[in-house]
Amino acid sequence: MGKKDSRVDAYIARAAPFARPILNRLRKVVHAGCPFVEEDIKWGFPHFLYQGMLCSMAAFKQHCSFGFWKGTLLKSLTARGTAHEAMGQLGRIESPADLPNDEFLVAQVKEAVRLNETGAKAPTKHKSKAKTPLVVPNYFRAALKTSAKAAATFASFSPSHKREYIEWITEARTDATRQKRLATALAWLAEGKSRNWKYLRK
């Protein structure tokens, strides 16, 4: 049988009230379509695995998203004109009413399962030659200078790990939130922790 992950329970519990019934329904149909699916947390949000990556879901402030790892190969998605590579092939999901019916969703999950079982490969993504430069805000640089341990940890991180902290801090909508996140980031970095350390398997 499938394997549920308590971290997914925690993720759903932390989500906004509007998102919880959406996430619970998506989780239910994935398990219905693939009884042997296993759950995991990757990049900070729930993923479902069966012979490789199957699909994932995420909750944001005002909407949820759900996408298949090989969505570009799903006939049910290409028929609807929604088979693209971006996360959230079902579009913005703001309530359970925005979701297709369970029968359709289960059929999609089963189709995705067959793709993984047959070893189908999604089209290779063309990497952009011009990468967005990693810019560390001046206020973040100044804060890092106040903690040698935090600065050393940040310096040792890969660009992707650095970007996780930078985006988390710069995306704050208010100065108060930004300052709170900055203080938290310094504390975590001083302890040698990555931005998403809570979701790493122990």
Q: Please give the model's pTM, rounded to 2 decimal places.
A: 0.59
Q: What is d(CA 67, CA 70) in angstroms, rounded to the nearest whole number?
A: 9
pLDDT for 8 equals: 96
Report whether CATH 3.90.1150.200 matches the domain 6-117: yes
| pLDDT, tens digit, 9 for 90 and up, residues 60-70 | 989 999 989 88
pLDDT tens for 6-41 read 999 999 999 999 999 999 999 999 999 999 999 999
Domains of the chain, residue spans:
6-117, 138-199
Interval 65-103: pLDDT, tens: 998 988 888 887 654 444 443 356 778 899 999 999 999
The neighbouring-strand residues paired with 3 are: 38
